[in-house]
Amino acid sequence: MTDLPDRRLLLVHAHPDDESINNGATMARYAAEGAHVALVTCTLGERGEVIPPGLRHLAGPALGAHRRGELVAALRELGVEDVRLLGGAGRYGDSGMMGIPDNEDPDCFWQADLDEAAGSLAEVILELRPQVLVTYDDNGGYGHPDHIQAHRVAMRAVELADARGHRVQKVYWNRMPRSVAEAAFVRLQDELPGLPFAKTATVADLPGVVDDERITTTLDGGAYGAAKAAAMRAHVTQIDVAGSCFALSNELAQPLFTTEYYELVRGEARPGETDLFAGVTPEAS
């Protein structure tokens, strides 16, 4: 790909919807500012639980195809056009939640050969030459096997691309500061009587929650909150959005955050950093 903008951001996620929940405001902000924003999704989420009764007939490949359409619609809301499926559509199947027999399916992402999958992602890195990459921590945020594998693949792909001539200058993990999460759930509990959900989730249900001092970077996405909410609504099989909160298939309300938080794990963090591209050089390899 030629004539890419000076700023290039690559995000690596496990399933359709993860990108909008974790990074929707960030993606919309950088796309609006003219950066090249690209997403690699590792599976189509064929084993996801479907919320709307009218769509619960979808399962397996049919659900995956439907969720691929949801993904395209969500990215349209965020102003992002470059979305890739790792290894091509259907290459890696959804592994299901940790500890179930589906984890043993030889075609699922959890069983993927690490260097093969990372090699496919490294090709994307070498094509797009991103200065910044965003993915999960080593627990995948909350222990889902596909999220853990996405972390492993992303970190290994950064190494492989580096060895072949392109250095990703900054790598971030998705995070949520504990104090912010706790305060948000206090507010949400007060709002619950006016919401279509009977109960709230808890801080322990959120992915990537860490002590505040682990946070290196805070992205104010308030101007893009509506875009993030619209993107999440596009994932209709997986997310039920109601105002400033949402629920997954467990029907437990959780806050919809428009400020998004990160931990820099490769590169130099600047105190009070508010820009993922802080300190990057446009064409350094």
Helix (H) or strand (E) holding 231: helix 225-234
**Edge-to-edge strands, sheet with 240-242:** 199-200, 252-255, 245-247, 240-242
Contacts of 71 (CB under 8 A, 6+ apart): 16, 17, 19, 41, 83, 235
d(CA 188, CA 196): 12
Rounded Cα gap, residues 135 and 15, in angstroms: 12
The CA distance from 262 to 175, in Å, is: 5
Give the burial class of 254: count Cβ atoms within 10 A of its Cβ; 0-12 exposed, 13-18 middle, 19 or more buried. buried
Q: Is 235 annotated as a binding residue?
A: no
Tokens of 285: 């390899």
Instruction: Consult the annotation and say whether 66 binds a ligand.
Output: no
Ordered DSSP codes for 238-284: T-EEETTEEE-TT-EEEE--SEEEEEEEESPPPTTB--TTTT--TT-
18 marked as part of a ligand binding site: yes
Show binding-site residues for Zn(2+): 15, 18, 147
Show binding-site residues: 15, 18, 147
